[in-house]
Amino acid sequence: MPDKPLIDAADNVAVVTNEQTVKDLARILPATVSDEYMKLFGAELAQAIENARGTVDREKAVAIAALQPAPVTGQQRGGPLTRMDSDQAAEYVRCTALRGFNKPFLVDASLDADGLITQALTGVSNAAGGYLMPDDFVAEINKRADEPAVVWPRITKRPTKFRSVTQATVTTYITPNAGVDAYAGSATTATEISVSEPVFNDLTWTMRYMDARMPVKLDLLQDAPQNIYQQLIELAGDGFNIYREFYPIQGKGGTTFSQPQGIMPLAGTLDGAYTSKIEYTRVGVLASLSVTNILDFVATLGARYRGKAICLMPTQILYGVVRTLAENVRAAQFLVGKLPPLEESEQVNANHIICGDFSRYIVYHNRLMELVTSVVAQRYTMEIVVVEKWDGQPTIYDAFKIGKVTT
């Protein structure tokens, strides 16, 4: 590569001022990095060649445009259908050809002052946003889920790089022999110590996909008077939070539904007495919302789990419990440390209460709110995809109790 431009300063000025010569150079030379032209010809001539390239390409497109009717744009702000003039049609053909070969292009701003070319290229309308932005875009998104996170912060989350995880679990513990049943001190060698051995099973977590895809016009992202991109990500987060709260309570595990395993489906039938499924401990049943019944129900949960336990219930039951306690408990300090925190959850079945230690609900994950974005040039659109991949289930069923209010 030469150290100085091929054309000296005097000749450079002569070439730059000759419009036809600059066009000829633009036709001959391939499109390349402008820095290379600057080394060969100098900055002024290199810039002139780059500026002429769009004009030259458009002149090539004029012949094509002349053989076909001018593109028709859509209805513009309620006005009539509009046809482009010859120069605009040539620019439209040039940009369409570049887009067809997946090459970058910019519409000549002087020819697109009225937006006809952009409108024809993107095919958008008033209803779709994009080029025809509303005159007054309200600078907020009104619909927000804002799901309260009650369960998800309390469950145990473990990262993994694998599609599935298998973990051994004990279904029957060792029971030591004691008292008259302990034979270690027997005087005779014929006496054998009774066998007491644990029974093992295994639990498997299979990663479950959750995803959301949001195509957004680039003009909407660029022209809206707010950070639309960030708002969309926050909306996606709210949506995923709903599933994070739903699946540990109501998820239907197994291959049929491909969901994390929820607490309520494990308990079996929700009418009348509960059935024991997957060694799920039989739950207590509340006849009514009296202080005695509430305390008796909480007492069915083992002491080893009550320290981290919470009571989840729908709104009506929650305020019924609070009202009962407020009306019947004169010295609330006696309940401090005896009742787990009472939390509201829309995911719990009507007339039911779940009391349990949700740290015993284990989630394995290899994607949490993973964000993937790409620009689809031919649609002038940004694709935003959010993916989560996790599975969850309780590992100790005794850590959860379900009560049903029958009256």
CA–CA distance, 345 with 321 (Å, rounded to integer): 14
Q: How far is CA 102 from CA 98, 335, 373, 376, 377, in A?
A: 6, 69, 18, 10, 7
DSSP assigned state of 335: G
283 is written with which tokens? 């739950």
Four-point Cα dihedral 345, 349, 353, 356, nearest 10: -70
**Is the C-alpha dihedral spanning 369, 341, 302, 272 positive or negative?**
negative
Specify the long-range contacts of residues 332-338, CB closer than 8 Å, at least 24 apart: 338/295, 338/298
Each residue's pLDDT tens digit in the chain (407 positions)?
Answer: 445 554 455 555 555 566 777 676 666 666 654 555 555 666 677 777 777 776 666 555 555 445 455 555 544 434 445 667 777 877 777 777 777 666 667 788 778 776 777 767 664 443 333 333 333 444 444 455 566 789 999 999 999 999 999 987 777 778 888 888 888 888 888 888 888 888 777 889 999 999 999 998 888 887 766 677 778 888 888 889 899 999 999 999 888 889 999 998 877 544 444 443 333 444 556 778 888 888 888 988 889 999 999 999 999 999 999 998 888 888 777 787 788 999 999 999 888 899 999 999 999 999 888 888 888 889 899 898 989 999 999 988 888 988 888 76
Q: Are residues 170 and 304 in the same domain?
A: no
Q: Are residues 248 and 110 in the same domain?
A: no
Q: Total domain count for the chain? A: 3
pTM, 2 dp:
0.58
Q: How far is CA 242 from CA 9, 152, 236, 249, 386, in A?
A: 68, 10, 10, 11, 14
Q: Are residues 196 and 245 in the same domain?
A: no
DSSP, residue by residue, 56-114: HHHHHHHHHHHTSPPPBP---TT----B--HHHHHHHHHHHHHHHTT------TTT-TT
Beta bridge partners of 211: 387
Would 41 be classed as within a structural domain? yes
Are 247 and 241 contacting, i.e. CB atoms less than 8 angstroms apart?
no
Residue that finishes a domain, picked among 77, 108, 128: 128
> In which domain, by residue range, is 178 found?
165-205
Beta-carbon count within 10 A of 298 CB: 19
In the chain, the amino acid numbered 124 is V
Would 97 be classed as within a structural domain? yes
Residue 151: which of 356, 401, 389 has the closest Cα? 356
Would 160 be classed as within a structural domain? no
